[in-house]
A and B are shown apart, each in its own frame.
Chain A
Amino acid sequence: MKRFRPIALLGTACIAALMPVSMSAAEIVVDARQYPGPAWSPYLVGALLGVLSWLTFYFSDKPIGASSFYATLAGMIGKLVAKKHTESLAYYKTNPPVADWEFAFVIAAVGGAFIAAFSGGELTGQWLPPMWEARFGEGTLGLRAAVAIFGGMSMAFGARLAGGCTSGHGISGTLQLSVGSWIAVVCFFIGGIAVAMLLFAQ
């Protein structure tokens, strides 16, 4: 019986989250596929990301991850503003905010994406994504800023609580067959699908 409790918990969460989805799924009018897709095959990119994970494990003894970058940056800023208070927080006691492997990794990723977009003629240089404009209207930068900042806050809070993000749990944790990572990534998508359906239902 004890072994089935997590499954029952997850099942309940699924049903609760999918109710608004099923009610609103029919009313979505914006189609993501009218905008350009990926430059390379998703299978090729996925396979190369898998190979990249071999390399980071072998050469750096590190799994690919991204979300702790923001926690480290937040701690570094926190130390500038209120050093004693920041250092007293439980999270920063176990994870001191110093620029580490993942910090350099995420900063370099911005550069890598620039090279990819530049080489493929895909540089956008835009403040509002076209699909956002199609749903929420042109010139809605204020709304976009508010939604993205609030979304970022809940995403980071959720990532720290869950113990990782779409990279750390979603790729590195799942490929190592961690039970918690598979639970987390399923919940990322349940929460994401439910809220996206509500946002884009018209």
Chain B
Amino acid sequence: MVDPGKIVRTSNVADRPAVEKGGRILSALIFGLCFGFLLQKGGVGKYHVLIGQLLLQDFTVVKVMLTAIVVGMIGIFTLHRFAQVNLHIKPTRIGSNIIGGLIFGAGFALIGYCPGTVAAALGQGNYDGLFAMAGLVIGSFVYAEFSKTLKATVEKWGDKGKLMLPEALHISRAVFIPFFVLLLVGVLVGLARFTVR
């Protein structure tokens, strides 16, 4: 299927490459500033909020994430429908998604921050974020060292390409998205009703 967003955006970019490049770094700084600001205000730069989520005591993290997913999904697919944005779907590789995900989760519990929220933690004055960041840099290089082997083995297990939920379930996007939004809103309402924080 032709991606309608891609055609429009590509032609826009080609018209003004120099502006696009200069604007990109500035936009990264502005949006990054907003991102860190929101993470801190959302409390997810705090060790006890993140660990509290993993101990199933404090549901702030899930509330922030699910609301962002619902609002983001509605906007991105509407913009995409009118050919204003490109989708950036990461490939589904079931083996490495599961194994990498579980290893990531173990690290998440040990640190108490994640790669984005550790920036917020450091910004608000949690200096222990520096240790986590050092570990993140080392771990990234360790992955790179083994990347050739991993790409040839684990990352080939269950490689489904850029698979999306509606296609996997054989439902059209126009039907799936409203239904899924309702489902996620239902979960959020349940969380609001039954959790203390």
* A62: Cβ under 8 A from any B Cβ: yes
Question: Are A32 and B138 CB-contacts (below 8 A) given A66-B116, A69-B115, A199-B110?
Answer: no
* Complex interface: chain B residues within 8 A of A129 (CB): 46-48, 112, 126, 128
Least Cβ–Cβ distance between B67 and chain A, in angstroms: 3
Contact with A along B37-63 (1 / 0, CB 8 A): 111111111111101101111101001
* Complex interface: chain A residues within 8 A of B41 (CB): 38-40, 45, 116, 120
B104 contacts A46, C-beta separation under 8 Å = no
CA distance A113 to B129 in the complex (A): 13
B124 contacts A162, C-beta separation under 8 Å = no
A177 contacts B48, C-beta separation under 8 Å = no
Chain A contact residues (Cβ within 8 angstroms of B): what range?
Answer: 35 or more
Query: Which of B57, B105, B119: most chain A CB closer than 10 A?
Result: B105
B111 contacts A152, C-beta separation under 8 Å = yes
Query: Which of B34, B58, B85: most chain A CB closer than 10 A?
Result: B34
* A139: Cβ under 8 A from any B Cβ: no
* Complex interface: chain B residues within 8 A of A158 (CB): 99-107
* A90: Cβ under 8 A from any B Cβ: yes
CA distance A31 to B52 in the complex (A): 8
B123 contacts A38, C-beta separation under 8 Å = no
Least Cβ–Cβ distance between B119 and chain A, in angstroms: 4
- Point out residues on B near A: beta carbons under 8 Å: 9, 13, 23-25, 27-49, 51-52, 54-58, 60, 63-76, 79, 84-94, 96-112, 114-117, 119-128, 131-145, 147-148, 150-151, 154-155, 158, 160, 162-166, 168, 173, 176-177, 180, 188, 192, 196-197
Give me the 3 closest cross-chain CB pairs, A-B, nearest first: A152-B135, A191-B105, A187-B101
Given contacts A9-B94, A127-B128, A149-B134, 13 further A-B contacts (CB under 8 A): A43-B63, A46-B66, A51-B71, A71-B141, A73-B140, A92-B144, A112-B34, A131-B47, A152-B107, A161-B100, A162-B99, A162-B104, A166-B108
